[in-house]
Amino acid sequence: MDAAQALARLADYFESMTPQSVDRIGDFYAPNARFKDPFNDVRGVPAIRQVFQHMFRQVGQPRFIVTERIGGEVGDAGAVLLWQFHFHARFGLRERAQIIHGASHLRFDAAGLVVLHRDYWDAAEELYAKLPLLGTLMRALAGKLAA
């Protein structure tokens, strides 16, 4: 399987991911794959599975929308997915819909399995700034630092 096919297959998996389909993550990741995001740095399918199981326990209605696929041409083992992560989170007494915009840098092996998955997204802007008390402080700090 070439990287373009692997990328399309992985994008489809993420867009349709459910708590039940997390168990199939080994169909997409090499046994010793590395996954890194702002909160996790793990290696191996069981640890990666746990990251996504945790996601389904922590937030309501999580859903990925892939907005762009970059790379994956013939002979290219790396690619990037641009995505939106939609979910519901409780802040105080209210539950609100949230969106995080991010990118995943991916590397595939010859079999089309992910060996490296590194997520990039701005936790300060996309998450911390939306929290009631911390958000006020983050916005004030951003205002002071802006040109």
147 located within any domain: no
137 located within any domain: no
Q: What pLDDT is stored for residue 89 in this prediction? A: 81
139 located within any domain: no
Task: Give the mean pLDDT of 12-22.
Answer: 98
Q: Name which residue leads in pLDDT, 85 or 139.
A: 85
3-state DSSP call for residue 127?
A: coil
Tokens (6 digits) for 19: 């708590």
In the 8-state DSSP scheme, what is residue 21? G
User: Rounded to an integer, what distance in angstroms lies between the CA atom of residue 75 and that of residue 121?
Assistant: 27
CA 11 to chain centre: 11
Task: Give the mean pLDDT of 22-29.
Answer: 98
Residues spanned by the domain of 111: 3-121
User: Is the separation of the CB atoms in 40 and 108 below 8 Å?
Assistant: no
109 located within any domain: yes
Give the residue among 100, 103, 85 at the shortest CA–CA distance from 15.
85
How many domains would you assign to the chain?
1
Q: Residue 25's domain is classified under what CATH number?
A: 3.10.450.50
136 located within any domain: no
In the 8-state DSSP scheme, what is residue 13? H
Residue 74 has pLDDT above 60, yes or no: no
